[in-house]
Structure 1
C-alpha cells in the first residue's frame, strides 16, 4: 500500500478525541454520539458511521475520578488556606462539587475514549483493508 493509499485511510486521533470530548461523532463531527446520557448511539445520525463497536468499559470512569480528584485537591487546599470553613460546610460544598463535576465529565470522557478507539481502529471500528 502506497503512502497516498494509507493517507486516505488515516484517522487523526487528536481530532477524534476532541470531537468525542464535545460528544460528537468522531468521523464527521456533526452528529451526536450519545443516544442518552451514557448510551452511545449505534450509528451517527448524520453520517451513519457505526459506533456500537466501542469498548469504553471502565476507562471513562477512571479518567473522571482522576480529574475530579486532582481538581478537588486544589480546591480543598485553597478553601482551607483562604477561608477556613466549618468542616460540615466544607464537606457539603466539596461533595456537591464532586458530584456535579463527575456528572459533567463522565460523558465527555466516554466520548473521548470512543473517539480514540475509532481513530485507532480498535475493537471492530475497521481496518484500512476492509
Structure 2
C-alpha cells in the first residue's frame, strides 16, 4: 500500500493487488483446513456395534489434540515465530473452543438422559 497526492492535493491510497491475492489464498487454505473430513467412528468387536468407551476416548483425544495445537501455535506466535500468523492462532483457538463446547454439551445431554432413566419408575 502506498500513499500519494493527486493533482488536486488529495491523498490517495494505492492498494497492492498482490497482497490482496495472497490474503485471499491464505483465507481459502484456512477454510479448506476447517472443512477437513471428520474422523470415522470406531466400530466395536461385533459387526455393526459401536463401543461407547472407544468413541468417547477418541473424541476426548481429538479435543485434547486441538487444544494442544492451539496452545503450541499461541506460544510460537508469542515468541515471535514469523511462520505463524495471528489468523492461524485465532482459528486454532476457536476450533479448540468449539470442540470443547460440543463435548461439554454432549456430556450434559448424557447426564440428563442418565438422570431421566434413573428416575423412571419401574
TM-score, reference length from structure 2: 0.33
Query: Which structure dedicates a bigger proportion of its chain to strand?
Result: 2
Q: Which has the larger radius of gyration?
A: 2
Q: Which structure would you say has the larger RCO, counting Cα contacts within 8 Å and 6 or more residues apart?
A: 1
Tell me the TM-score normalised to structure 1 length: 0.32
